[in-house]
Structure 1
Amino acid sequence: MASSILTLISFIISFTLYLVSTSAITPAAPPGPIPGPLPGYGPIETNGKKYAYVCDPARFTALNLDVKTFSYCNTTLPFSARVKDLVGRMTLQEKVLQLGDYAQGAPRIGLPVYKWWSEALHGISTVGQGPRTSPSHATYFGDVVPGATSFPTPLLSAASFNETLWNQLAQVVSTEGRAMYNLGHTFLTFWSPNINIARDPRWGRILETPGEDPFVVGRYSVNFVRGLQDVPGRVVPPNLNERPLKVSACCKHYGAYDVDQWFGIQRITNDARVAEQDMVESFNYPFEMCVKEGDVSSVMCSYNKVNGIPACADTKLMSQTIRGDWKLHGYIVSDCDSVEVMHDAQQWLGDTPEESVMRAMRAGLDLDCGSYYTDHTVAAVQQGKVRESDVDNALTNLYTVLMRVGFFDNLLEYQKLGTESICTKENIELAAEAARQGIVLLKNDNSSLPFNNMTHSHIAVVGPHANSSKPMLGNYAGVPCRYITPLQALSADARVEFDLGCDVWCHNQAAKDHAKQLAMTTDATIIFGGIDLDVEAEAHDRWDLNLPPDQITFITEVAEAAKGPVVLVLFSGGGLDVTFAKNNSKINAILWAGYPGNDGGKAISDVIYGRQNPAGRLPITWYPSQYTEILPMTSMKFRPVEELGYPGRTYKFYDGPVVYPFGFGLSYTQFTYNLSLPQNSSVVDVKLGPDQKCLAVEYKPNTQVPPSACAAVKIADTNCNQSINLDLRVTNAGKVDGSHVIIVYAKPPQYIAGAPIKKVIAFQRALLKVGQTQYVQISVNVCDALGLVDKSAYQILASGQYTIEIENGDIVANVTLPVNFN
């Protein structure tokens, strides 16, 4: 009895400490509501006063100007006419001063400075932040805005496979960004999201991306960009260049960029040698979706060269593709200092600075993040290398976007947003919910999870990330509203014995020994391991896929010493070879928590103690460490290179052993599938036009190919109005309510050479109570779903027998679908 009373008292004390710790907001909660820009607030400073928007008549009066004489402030005119008036008023020197990320303005005509560079990858970021008076920094935390909501990094949010969630996250980010803008703490152009494909598992920036599948990454980009940009009720005006924007988003880094710093090969000089097939099928695909479906207002070109040409000077990549083929309504910006890099680091073509400016501007680069345009464009015009009309075109693209975001005229929908819109309870809860939805259960032997508050009331919490705060944020983070660490959150569920045991590198033997002692004397042990930004980050690729050796030893020894069940929680972006833990019977469960944001500890505790049934699915393949030993990071091919012994990349082309496959994730319950095709969708008959040409298809050797009068057709020449309609019945056959992610794959005919093993064509997240059956109807366009890209980079539809499959672990359902031409 005495022991029970002591346990109860200890629990009460722990819970009280938890409440105290989580009630403290770090940084302190913003002061009371400041509804919109008041005197002393606002983004535009003029003669010591601040104004909400450029064309405020009082601001022009302060400049001894009459706003009525400036047509660019006439709101009855279309943006095109207003921008033409604005650009036409500038001298060449004034124009050039607006071409860098710090646009210096032209007081003579009432044009203020504008700071283009803000970041919002998973919340308003401190990247680019500096002293408030710094001329080149746009974002500022302090005084009335001490922090903003910090969501999980994109890879963990992507693991939710929840398009609605992605859109909601971006809506909150843009609301907080707009409020910070009103308060003079940031501007309106955010260079996010990062939609590069996670092609190689060593890349240090995988945590910033939505994963390895081009379609999933593209859907993430569309939803995130729409959440940032869309103004409700004004999404599709007749002229998309006149469409208002809540804030401006930017899809980056284009193109074929995913090597940062790998054994001396650096991103600023790397030459990505890429086949057009891979460009169309993988590297460009998310950017095409971002521009066409997301209507993003900016694209950022990358440092690297693509097939010998710097991306920011490649006319085919930029003006022909982004603006010509995809119809970008916005501007193209360089990754920072890319034009300078072309001249100084790459020494491309032996150009002078003016010639580097010429090549970038001719290729379609509107804005130089840096000062190279500002420093050298006047001379380039004077030398006849750049037309002044080229400068005018760039400025037109730039200032049209600033008109659309309300820099010149305050958008009424958002003028009253202030501190009451930042770090709200709802926003913080959404951050926790995003982490909960993304966390992936990788192992759960004997249903060791979830824990029970009664039988697991005394636990050991150890490991490098056990009391993680800042590491939970990952990179491109801001100042968070608060931190709830794993230790704080778990202290509300149990009496906790705590010891880090070691840092990520785990060199401290004495601390390891104490952690083992705690594991020996408690009901259960939770080990928080993984890596951090010292291992994977921008400009820092990984050498291998293993945890640090001493951390592996630490995890193994603690697990061996533990009296009760052991849970391993992993923080990382890129995949980890944790075969040692997967095969260790003393490690009962493994959770991947990515970098879970400011409330990450709360989300992890909710999963461990069963308040959340995990439903996250891996958006990347977790390879064994040997994978990286047999091919260089710089080999850009997705398909296997048999003559060199290189395996394929991503689940689409790699069929070797894995630690955990793309799309893997367990649940506390069980689901069953029943998949069928309605009778009218069981065959795809494509009617060809009278002059339509059939294409030859390369087949695998020694395979039997069914006879066909037409092997394949170009999708561009084909009427692609048909849809594939799937009827799916999902049943929760277990004992716990839970969400389930349905991922639909298409497998092409097996005899087509070079075709993907399979590819994602749709996904959906469904919530099912115990015993509930949910009917899910999925409809996909035939050409989008079954289309292939051949060696000539044609997008084709081939005839033959396709398989539509839904798969997760041992759960598989599939149907076959013949495609015929007539």
Structure 2
Amino acid sequence: MLVLLVSSCKTNEKEIDSYKFKFQNPSLKIEERVQDLIHQMTLTEKVSQMRYDAPAIDRLGVPAYNWWNECLHGVARAGEATVFPQGIGMGATWNAPLIYQMGTAVSDEARAKHHKFISEGKRGIYQGLTFWTPNINIFRDPRWGRGQETYGEDPYLTSRIGVNYIKGLQGNDSKYLKVVATAKHFAVHSGPEKSRHEDNYQTSNKDLYETYLPAFEAAVKEAKVHSVMCAYNRFRDEACCGSNLLLHKILRDDWGFDGYVVSDCWAINDFWEPGKHELVKTPEEASALAVSRGTDLNCGDCFDPNLKEAVLKKMVDEDKIDLALTKLMTARFKLGMFDPEENVKWSKIPYSVVGSQKHYDLSKKVARESMVLLKNQNNILPLSKDVKSIAVIGPNANSKPALLGNYHGTPKNYNTPVKAISKKLPNATVNYALGSDIAIGWPMLNTIPSSVLKNGENKGLKGEYFKNKNWEGNPEFIKNDSVVDFIWTLKRPIENLTTDEFSVRWTGQLIPNESGKYRIGLRASSAGKLYFDGDLKFEFSDDHEPKTKYFDINLKKGKIHDIKIEYYNYHSDPQAQFVWAKINQDLITPALEAAKKSEVVVLCLGLSPDIEGEEMPVLLEGFDKGDRSDIALPQTQIELMKKVHALGKPTILVLMNGSALAVNWAANNVPAILEAWYPGEFGGNAIADVLFGDYNPAGRLPVTFYKSIKYLPDFKNYNMENRTYKYFKGTPLFPFGHGLSYTNFTYSNLNIPDSITIGSNIEINVEVKNTGDFDGDEVVQLYISHKGKPNTAIRTLVEFERIHLKAGETKKLKYNINPKKYSLINEHGKPVIEPGNLVISIGGKQPGFKGLSNTHTTNVLEKKIALKNK
């Protein structure tokens, strides 16, 4: 035995000798390798590795690495990828195991794409393995534009969906992380967007620990999330990215988090820039404050070189730099970035998984399960496939953005509702019409056709393609492009590019064929400029996802206008579209004509990620810089809906949106309403499957649909009083957990003890039967109410499960509710259990609602039990 030990030791010595640096030896422990690497670095090099776009350290053989990547609902901004339903749709499935499968599929694509990029020598933004996902903030107010990214308003539902997505992303290997997931935005963060860089929020300890922290705690303790992103705002006077309470006491001391913290992008600049938090006066002080309080990685440009200056000026100890760098480099080693690829099992995932049929099927499954049937008067749905003519009308009927939401990848498929319905009914006449703009002042922009573009004798524009980002020198080639409508996924326009950098200049003339007022725009990723008659109308500057800029102008038929577009690309998702729309068109008349000649009408209304989202410049009626100032449908769509309904045709309303809508008139007048969210690239298929009975809907609302914002507190008020299903005192339009089915479910034989001793589990047995004619899913919801206790929630979701039942089938279900789930959070933020009475409800909905807000296709059973001291 002694000989074997000595032999083993000699082998390790030889291995170490074969590497230039000790940290390069994969047989050593990660902790040892990380410390050796950091020991080799200069202060300048250390600081350089704490920015998101960390440069290479050539002398140490450390490659460049860009930490910024996104996979909110599929790998984002990195070219071709499967696009799943938006986060709010993921929450609407109420199916945590399904979201684990989705996370596994997304991380498969992430790994495959990363290794392909590395093989091509590409290490830029959106090409790494550290993903700033998921967004597990609580969607406490329907006005928040980024609420679409979350899983809804409930901490328990959010934690279950979030934990499963994180586990699917990070994988189950004992040595290597598949990818790094990042729980964001920590903490107490959910709007308003326009003031997030200056706001200072306050909450009680009860609200903090009952509402805003549970999903993060679950992400850390259960899912072992390896990264947390701190938020822009202040909480209790401290910037979240410089908060002792959040980053030290709660995250690390109380929860034992051992990963790294990344700032939200340019959030550290808010510490000192005028008009923002103004906590300190200089970027050096801001960098020192952030690092000393626990922010390890800066998305932005504040740390480098200011952090070095802060160390030299003794504002922060170099030991703090080493501690932060230890966490960052540990992540890179755990991802296998310093090991041979053959050692890392995740590196063997083939690129063929990207956009594979298996992932397409899963995307469609998630989309189907996210569909929430809000209303179905007289069982008008499902529709007959024998219909001979159908009108599909509305600004979202053929909208690609309404499929994708925000933070999305580039899909191969854009299955819009009109496209899917046309495919579903090959023998019917499908009459499509836009019907209205998405909102007053926001027309639908379409690609400018070749018929109005001229380049010499050619229709279209002259395209000059350059192998650099500055249109320098001679172009690689020149060609005529009939339209500017490009999404380059796998193949770039210029062959043999060693980087993602290229540029294109399009020139020519625009000759409108109709007079009128037009909106002319450019939708582009990366950066670019648009010149009109020699004047620079606007430019993009390093946008991180495709965005649209535009200007409005009066044009005369036949008048010639000079066009020049300069576009350059620097990352892996190049896109450019030259678009326009005629403003103030009569869109309703053709829509009414389409409806009149059809047997049934499907109205596809809602919102758009172009006007609700993250910190936008949008100022429209009902919208405010990405947020909403009114939760009603935009007036243009209400007018369209009322005029179509007046025709007396059977009408179905399909909503596509990222946040709750006060569709009060529709709820009272339109016989059927389907909530589809932003449902991904197969969303139209899922909608058509539900409308025509090929899928029985079972999604449930992850948020409350209110009747008006007048019933809600101020948007900036973060107290939970009169918010969400737990504390809202009014009558909602549709409650949290609501969702109808084409079949009926009946609960019976509830067995719960009359009393339990405090500290014991509550055992619940119940039977549920599908008493209808359709096979279908049921979402079992279990709530607890504390009767007679002041300042407590009306009820709290403590368990849920999505099950499938064939027509006539009965299942016996059993649940054990542990003491943590039935405890209360007191004014100190501590869980307490006191003697008293609990009311437990179990069924396919919340109890106690009537009329429209009642889910009439299921029932609820309730039981009061006593909590007693030992």
TM range (shorter): 0.7 to 0.9
Partner SS state of residue 734, structure 2: coil
State the shift of 1:506 in Å: 6.3
| 1:181-260 to 2 correspondences below 5 Å | 181-184=114-117, 186-232=127-173, 234=174, 243-260=175-192
Distance, in Å, in 2 between the alignment partners of 1:452 and 1:759 is 40
Task: Write the deviation string for residues 230-286 of structure 1: whole angstroms up to 9, x where unpaired.
Answer: 235x3xxxxxxxx4211000000011111133xxx5111111122222111111111
Q: Which residue in 2 is equivalent to 1:611?
A: 694
The residue number in structure 1 matching 2:708 is 625
Match of 1:14 in 2: none
> Matched residue pairs, number?
677
**For residues 442-591 of structure 1, what are the structure 2 equivalents within 5 Å?**
442-454=374-386, 456-494=387-425, 495=428, 496-505=430-439, 510-539=586-615, 540-563=626-649, 565-584=650-669, 587-591=670-674
Q: Deviations over 1:288-318 (max 9, x none)?
A: 1110111000000011001111011111110
Residue 229 (structure 2) pairs with residue 300 (structure 1) = yes
**1:727 alignment partner in structure 2:** 765
Gaps of 5+ in 1: 1-64, 127-139, 142-146, 235-242, 640-647, 687-719
Report the Cα distance in structure 2 between the residues aligned to 1:517 and 1:461, rounded to whole angstroms: 12
Aligned partner of 1:806 in structure 2 is: 842
- Of residues 286, 294, 301, the one that matches 1:364 is 294
Among 683, 688, 691, the alignment partner of 2:755 is 683
Query: Tell me, what secondary structure is at the counterpart of 1:510?
Result: coil
Q: Report the 3-state secondary structure (helix = DSSP H, G, I; strand = E; otherwise coil) of the residue aligned with 1:558.
A: helix
Structure 2 counterpart of 1:759:
796
Q: Cα RMSD over matched residues? A: 1.6
For 2:645, give the aligned amino acid: A
Note the residue ranges of structure 2 that are not aligned, 5 or more in a row.
1-15, 442-583, 616-625, 846-854
Q: Which residue of 2 aligns with 1:12?
A: none
Q: Deviations over 1:399-441 (max 9, x none)?
A: 1111111111235322222321100011011111111001000
Per the alignment, in what secondary structure is the counterpart of residue 169 of structure 1?
helix
Who is 2:44 aligned against? 93
User: Amino acid of the residue matched to residue 247 of structure 2?
Assistant: M
- What secondary structure sits across from 1:348 in the alignment? coil
Matched, 1:106 2:106: no
Contact kept in structure 1, 2:266 and 2:301, CA below 8 Å: yes
Structure 2 residue aligned with 1:175? 108
Deviations 1:346-371 (A, max 9, x none): 35344332221221111111111112
Q: Which residue in 1 is equivalent to 2:808?
A: 771
Equivalent position amino acid for 2:587 in 1: A
Instruction: Give distance in 2, aligned partners of 1:334 and 1:675.
Output: 51
**Matched residue, 2:239:** 310
Distance 2:694 2:330 in 1: 48
Counterpart-to-counterpart distance in 1, 2:676 and 2:782: 24
Aligned mates of 1:797, 1:675 — CA distance in 2: 28
Instruction: Pick the aligned partner of 2:322 from 392, 396, 404.
Output: 392
Indicate if the aligned counterparts of 2:82 and 2:363 stay in contact, CA closer than 8 A. Answer: yes
Tell me if the contact between 1:182 and 1:418 (Cα under 8 Å) persists in the aligned partners. Answer: no
Specify the alignment match of 1:661 in structure 2.
Answer: 735
Any idea what SS the aligned residue of 2:19 has?
Answer: helix
Following TM superposition, by how much is the alpha carbon of 1:673 offset from its aligned partner in structure 2, in angstroms? 0.5
Question: For residues 666 and 783 of structure 2, what CA distance do their matches in structure 1 show?
Answer: 30
Offset from partner CA, 1:705-748 (integer Å, 9 cap, x none): xxxxxxxxxxxxxxx5x322211211000111100111110111
Given residue 60 of structure 2, which amino acid in structure 1 is its aligned partner? Answer: I
CA distance in 1, matches of 2:391, 2:286: 59
Counterparts of 1:378 and 1:623, CA distance in 2 = 51
How far off its partner does 1:562 sit? Answer: 4.2
Letter in 2 for 1:402: R
1:815 aligned to 2:851?
A: no
Q: Contact 2:401–2:609 (CA<8 Å) still a contact in 1? A: no
* Matching residue's letter, 1:596: P
Residues 1:149 and 2:85 are matched in the alignment: no
In 2, distance between residues paired with 1:397 and 1:533?
A: 35
8 A contact 2:23–2:32 mirrored in 1: yes
Q: Distance in 2 between matches of 1:78 and 1:683?
A: 52
- Mapped partners of 1:378, 1:511: distance in 2: 60
Secondary structure in 2 matching 1:68? coil
CA distance in 1, matches of 2:816, 2:595: 51
Query: TM-score normalized by structure 2?
Result: 0.76
Cα distance in 2 for residues equivalent to 1:509 and 1:561 = 22
- Asked whether the equivalents of residues 519 and 562 of structure 1 are also in contact (C-alpha less than 8 Å), the reply is no
**Separation in structure 2 between the aligned mates of residue 344 and residue 104 of structure 1, nearest angstrom:** 26
In structure 2, what residue type is equivalent to 1:82?
R
Q: How does 1:630-641 map to 2 (within 5 A)?
A: 631-639=713-721
Alignment of 1:404-419 (within 5 A): 404-409=334-339, 410=341, 411-419=343-351
Aligned to 2:676, what secondary structure does the other structure show? strand
- 1:593 matched to 2:693: no
List aligned pairs for 1:317-328, cutoff 5 A. 317-328=246-257
Please give the alpha-carbon distance, in whole angstroms, between the structure 2 residues aligned to 1:283 and 1:797. Answer: 20
CA distance in 1, matches of 2:178, 2:277: 40
Q: 1:737 aligns to what?
A: 775
**Is the partner of 2:424 in helix, strand or coil?**
coil
Contact 1:800 1:820 in 2 (8 A): yes
Measured in 2, the distance between the counterparts of 1:422 and 1:492 equals 25
Q: Aligned to 1:329, which of 243, 248, 258?
A: 258
Do the aligned residues in 2 keep the contact of 1:183 with 1:418 (CA within 8 Å)? no
Q: Distance in 2 between matches of 1:285 and 1:245?
A: 24
**Which whole-Å CA distance do the structure 2 matches of 1:298 and 1:675 have between them?**
45
Does the 8 Å contact 1:196/1:209 carry over to 2?
Answer: yes
Q: Distance in 2 between matches of 1:624 and 1:66?
A: 71
How far apart are residue 682 of structure 1 and its match? 4.2
Q: Is the contact between residue 838 and residue 867 of structure 2 (CA under 8 Å) also seen in structure 1?
A: yes
CA shift digits 1:14-36 (9 cap, x unpaired): xxxxxxxxxxxxxxxxxxxxxxx
2:72 to 111, 117, 121: 121
Query: What is the CA-CA distance between 1:67 and the residue it aligns to?
Result: 6.0
Secondary structure at the counterpart of residue 527 of structure 1: strand
Distance 1:575 1:483, change over 3 A: same
8 Å Cα contact 2:130-2:179 kept in structure 1 = yes
More strand by share: 2
* Structure 2 Cα separation of the partners of residues 527 and 92 of structure 1: 61
The answer to whether the aligner puts 1:291 opposite 2:214 as a matched pair is no
8 A Cα contact 1:732 1:773, kept in partner: yes
Cα offsets for 1:470-524 (capped at 9, x unmatched) = 3210000111131111111101232211111122126856321121122222221
Q: Counterpart of 2:633 in 1: which secondary structure?
A: coil
- Structure 1: which amino acid aligns with 2:666? A
For 1:351, the equivalent position in structure 2 comes to 281
Query: How far apart are residue 66 of structure 1 and its match?
Result: 8.5
Letter in 1 for 2:653: L
Structure 2: distance between partners of 1:449 and 1:506: 31
In structure 1, how many angstroms separate the alpha carbons of the residues matched to 2:384 and 2:163?
40
Contact 1:745 1:762 in 2 (8 A): yes
Give the Å deviation of 1:626. Answer: 4.3
Q: Which residue of 2 aligns with 1:703?
A: none
> Normalising by structure 1, what TM-score?
0.81
Cα gap change, 1:670/1:398 in structure 2, threshold over 3 Å: closer, same or farther? same
Asked if 1:380 corresponds to 2:316, the answer is no
